[in-house]
Chains A and B, each alone.
Chain A
C-alpha cells in the first residue's frame, strides 16, 4: 500500500518546529520590533537591578561542546545573579560526547536534570536540532559560524542604550565581514529599523553576496568601501569593529598588505560624531589600538557588560518569565 512515512515525518517535523517556536532561542534574526523592544526593556530592568531571586529553584545547564570562556562566564553569571543553580561542562573532552555519544542523547540526558540548556557547539544547526529533540528550552550560545543570538541581543542593547533608539542609524561595520557571524546577525536584526550600513573591508573579506542580496530584498541601504580613514568614518553612529584574522586569507601577501589598514587609532576619531560609539565582540588583538580605550567613544567593555543583562533577559524569556513578573518581583 501507499502508506508512507513521508507525511508522518512531515507532521513530526512541523510539530517539533512548533515546539521550538514556543520557547527556545536559536535565532533572533526574524524577531519583530515588538519582541526586540520587549527583550530590551527586560534587559534594562536587569541593568537597574541585576541581583534577584526570580530563578530560585531552577537549574540552568551550560553545555559547551566547544570552549568559549567569555560567553560561558556571561551566561553563568546571568543565571547565578538570578538565583538559579548552574550545571554543565566547559570542554567536550571530559564528557561522553568524546566517547561517541550523539548530541541527541546528551541533550535528552541533560533535559532530565535542567530547566533550560544553554549550548555552544562547533557544528552549524546543532542548537536547532537540539531544540527539536527536547521539551525544555534551548538557548543557542553559538553554533559554528552560523548564529549567536545572545551576542546580537547584547549588540542591540548596546546600540539602543548609547543612541537612545535603534531607528535610522548609520552603522559602520569594519574588518572581516565575510566570516564574522556577529555582523551578519546584527545586519539581519536591524532590518526593521531603517539603518544605513557601511561595509568597510578588504576585498577578500567583503560582505558575502547573500547578505547584500538580503539588504536589497529588504530595502536596507548599504555602501561598500575599502578605505578606512578619519574621513570615511565621520558620519558613523556605530563603528562595529571586527578582527581581520591571518588564517582567513588564501593569499598571505594580501594579508600583509591589508592587515594594518583596518586598525582603529585614537587620532582617527577627530571628526567623528559626538554620539558615535565603538563596538567590538571581543576578544580584540590589534584592530583597536590601546590608545582608543580612553576615548569617550570606546564602548566595547561596557558592551560586554551589557551581555550579562541581555542574557538574563533571554534566560527569563525562554522560561516563560515575563517583564511584569520581573517588575513585580518582591
Chain B
C-alpha cells in the first residue's frame, strides 16, 4: 500500500507544468527516452523503470517538467509502442489524460523499406496508411507494406 502511494506521488506530484508518459513496457523505456530526446532536455526529467503496475506487472514511466509533446512526437512513440498513457499537467492540475493511440496515417515518421521507392530517392515526406488489424503499414507511394514491428523511423 505504501509503495503504491509512493508510486502515485512520483507520477504526478511536484510537477507544476509538464507531461507524464506512463504504461511504458520496461523493455521499451530507453527507446522512448531516446525518441523524445530526453538526453538533451535541460528541464527536470524523472525516469522510472520496473515500477509495480497492477495492469502490466512492471512498467516504466517518464515525467518531464515544462515540456508538452506534439502529436507528431506522440505518433512516433505510438509506432514503437502502442497503448502508452499521456498525462498533461498545468498548474498542478491534470488537464489531459489519454492513451497514446497509433494514428491512421503516419506522415514523415517511417522510412519505406523499398529501396526503389521514390521516397528513398527524393527529398520528400513519407506517408503511410496504418492497418491496425493486420499490424501493417502501407506506403502511399509505392504501395509496399511492412509489418509494424519491423519499421524504421526517420
Min distance, Cβ B153 to any Cβ of chain A, angstroms: 15
Q: Tell me whether A144 is interfacial, beta carbon within 8 Å.
A: yes
CB contact list, A120-166 vs B, under 8 A: 121-126, 128-129, 143-146
Q: Which residue in A3, A10, A129 is a CB contact (below 8 Å) of B107?
A: A10
Total number of A-B contacts with CB less than 8 angstroms?
Answer: 68
Give the CA-CA distance A144 to B141 in the complex, in Å: 12
Min distance, Cβ A129 to any Cβ of chain B, angstroms: 5
Min distance, Cβ B144 to any Cβ of chain A, angstroms: 8
Q: Mark B61-87, 1 if CB is under 8 A from A, else 0.
A: 000000010111001000000000000
Q: Tell me whether B140 is interfacial, beta carbon within 8 Å.
A: yes
Q: Given known contacts A6-B71, A104-B124, is B117 in contact with A123 (CB within 8 Å)?
A: yes
Q: Which residue in B75, B107, B118, B139 is a CB contact (below 8 Å) of A13?
A: B107
Q: Tell me whether B108 is interfacial, beta carbon within 8 Å.
A: yes
Q: Given known contacts A13-B127, A102-B123, is B71 in contact with A126 (CB within 8 Å)?
A: no
A9 nearest CB neighbor, chain B only: B107
Q: Would you call B116 and A124 a contact (CB within 8 A)?
A: yes
Q: Which range holds the interface residue count of chain B?
A: 20 to 34
Give the CA-CA distance A122 to B142 in the complex, in Å: 12
Q: Which range holds the interface residue count of chain A?
A: 20 to 34
11 contacts between A and B (CB under 8 A): A3-B70, A4-B72, A6-B70, A6-B72, A13-B105, A13-B107, A102-B122, A123-B118, A124-B144, A129-B141, A144-B142
Q: Tell me whether B125 is interfacial, beta carbon within 8 Å.
A: yes
Q: Would you call B118 and A129 a contact (CB within 8 A)?
A: yes
Q: Is the interface of B mostly helix, strand, loop or mixed?
A: loop
Q: Tell me whether A103 is interfacial, beta carbon within 8 Å.
A: yes
Task: Please give, as numbers and ranges, the residues of chain B lying within 8 Å of A9 by CB-CB distance.
Answer: 107-108, 125
- Scoring B71, B108, B127 by chain A CB atoms within 10 A of each residue's CB, the highest score goes to B127
Q: Which residue in B68, B117, B125, B127 is a CB contact (below 8 Å) of A124?
A: B117
Q: Would you call A2 and B142 a contact (CB within 8 A)?
A: no
Give the CA-CA distance A135 to B53 in the complex, in Å: 54
Give the CA-CA distance A149 to B42 in the complex, in Å: 54
Q: Given known contacts A103-B118, A104-B124, is B107 in contact with A125 (CB within 8 Å)?
A: no
